[in-house]
Structure 1
Amino acid sequence: MKVLIVGAGQVGESIARDLESDHNVTVVDQRSERSEELAYGYDVLTVTGDGTELSTLQEAGLADSDMVIASTDDDETNIVACSTAAAHSEAFTIARIKHTKYLRTWDGVDRAFGIDDMVCTNLLTAQSITRVVGLPAAIDVDPFAGGRVQMAEFEISDACPIVDQTVQEADRYDSLTFAAVIRDDAVVIPDGATTIAAGDRVVVIGSPESVHSFADGLEPSHAGDSVEEVAIFGGSEIGYHVTRLLGERGFTPRLIEQDPDRARELAEELPAAQIMESDATDMEFLEREHIDEADVVIAALESDEKNLLVSLLAKRLGVDRTLAVIDTPAYVELFEAVGVDVAINPRVVVAEEITRLTQSEKTENVALIESDKAEVIEIEIDADSVLAGRPIRESIADLPDGVVIGAITRNASFVTPRGDTEIQPGDHVVLFVDAAAINETTNKL
């Protein structure tokens, strides 16, 4: 497939990196130095120019492109680029946008703006945050198979009961698979003898019930507790959608917004929430309102630095868990190192969604692990698949190293994968796949 990407920022680069090995990729950007960086670093063609101009798109090969992805940081630029591409080619168009006002227009009219698919950064980020809120201790959560399968990533601290246990000792759950251990930036496919160490990140795949039980096991003092009190700092669009989504799930979140006009607007639009007008860094206010009683504090202000400050203040007050929206990729590891429990980068979230949309027809869903180290994919098995009609212990030998079958659903029911489990055509299989094995695996499935 020939893919044309407009925008060589973090999102565009991430998409190009994911697609370069299996597709013909051309990237358009106005900055010549950025074009040179991508041309040097990846197996892609680059064109320097304005992606909203037809002549630039034509120079980049619009006429024979199968897909055009507009991924700049500007909503209007992406809409115009996709509209121009749609008017002059048969390419499938995907526009990245931040604000939901354009998404509402697109949803209301079939192929509005001439765009085939639209991904909204702010909404996707809010959805990612609410999934993590619903699973204590997790740093990443993704649903598969219509919610019947869950993938979750956990960071193992010194205090976790499973530290220094083997996978065999830690695996006490009927419908859970230990898919991978991320250790020192390397992916380890574990077996029963693999020892889990402090600092590891463990990826598990299983039924939601087993994943929740595993999460409880990591923090026994909170086992069985449900998240009840959520405080959200910042009435940004992300903060608004997090509050709205939590309200739809039965929470009564507290949203703190400093601007009085925005606070009044939010109070009208979010009747299920408690809207409070205050400076999020005012310690006297935080103490008076007992923010320390919150189970989770979410920092969704417009500044990375303020989100860090609010998170650290919440930790100082005694809040168990903090989540912060981080716009600068380089800050993510720093924020987590100084005490923020989960740092979520909207650009990574939207790049993952766009990558999912570019997958083969067989791939139903995809989640990226640590941005680019591995993927968790869901595939519907057909009769030609190497997995069909054979026990897993036999068929897995035909797949490359770095593949773990994490879960199976059959006729909307969960099936725990074991060595003698026979996968049938029509089954949905959720697999963990190391980055180096992705192309070979999808081709065989």
Structure 2
Amino acid sequence: MTVEFDEQDGVTLLRPLAGEQPRAASTVDIGRAIADGDRHHRRVRFAGAAGAAATVVAVAVAGWTVVADGSQRAAPPSAGQSGAAGRSAGPSAGPSAGQSTAPGGGKGCAVQRLPVPGGEGEKGIVSGSDPSGRYILGRTYPNGRPSTVVWQDLQVRKVPMPGEDPVLSDATSSGVLVGSSFTAQDTTTAWVYRNGKFSKLAGADAQALAINEREVIVGSVQGRPAMWASPAAQPTILAMPGGGMTGKASGIDEDGTIVGTLEGGEAKTGLGYVWSPDGTPRKLPQPAVKGNPAGTYNVGTIRGGWVSGWAAYDEPNRGPRWIGTPRWNLRTGHLDTTDGLLTVINAQGRLGGPSAVVAADGSTVPLPLPDGYETSTASVSTMALSDDGTVVAGYVSSRGGGMSYEPVAIMWRCAAT
């Protein structure tokens, strides 16, 4: 179970903010607005950040405001004031007094820190998991450099991927892992981990982003969506509806249905697509954000016929950019959108966000913070959600006194429902 919001998605979210000289000094804190831990397409370095990724929360620059939590925000601060970046995007459907907070009558979730290898600092992130939640993927930072790890039954194990800036993306329930790293300047290599070792997937400038239980892998090769029928297979470039398009495949279901995002032609800023098991592509229905058709919508992942991603609506005349999380049910054709950015989905259609898990019926389960963190200063990224909803994992960091504190890998154990 993985989430796919790569740094290009971050660029897309921020794209409307560019193009003019700002009327005041920029207040964008990129190291916090672009959260650590997701997929990598191009090398990006941000001071103080653990890596490159794209959970954009709330950004103010050049008179624009990106709003991810469904609430109105004041105008951007003037030069010298602290901006809105670094605040976590919580679902507007989050729990409130008297509201049901457990789908199916469960009793909520308990949080704990995930261990790091001996001799390392506490810094760590989660980047995905297998569908059962037994294998949680991530990385820690020995000697300040990222190195991939797996938490198996809550025990941390080093699985160092070759290359620079490595990221594990997804796993099977038997512990086969996929991911990507940089092995040359601005060139990625896709990897599969089986039987205790990493092997390269075929294809130049490739990314491995998801794998199903049959060990069919999807991702991209040279900027085009691709599939590997097995870890030893050559990549197949997926069919695209028009020439000159680029993109990636970011999720694959157990029946072979693939989802991803394409750009070019009609899809100038990215549109979500689904490929049926026979390889036929079709565009996913356009979601609405704040009651308006989304101008951009990217797909993150698929599980059990449920698809999620992110969508944006830009108010005219440089008004706020509103962010929502669309949820498509491919079996019924139903589409809904939750305010804010919820980054994972499971086979029951539950969405995982920084403060709660939101069920298909709209009920929520809150995700508490670990001891020592405050809601007003903590930033949480939820990166994994098991099919049965009992395991949620991600990472938390905080900001206070003008300083940012490094991320810590965490997981929640939730009551079965």
Same fold, TM-score > 0.5, yes or no:
no
More helix by share: 1
More strand by share: 2
Larger Rg: 1
Measured against the shorter chain, the TM-score band is under 0.3
* Higher RCO, Cα 8 Å, sep 6+: 2
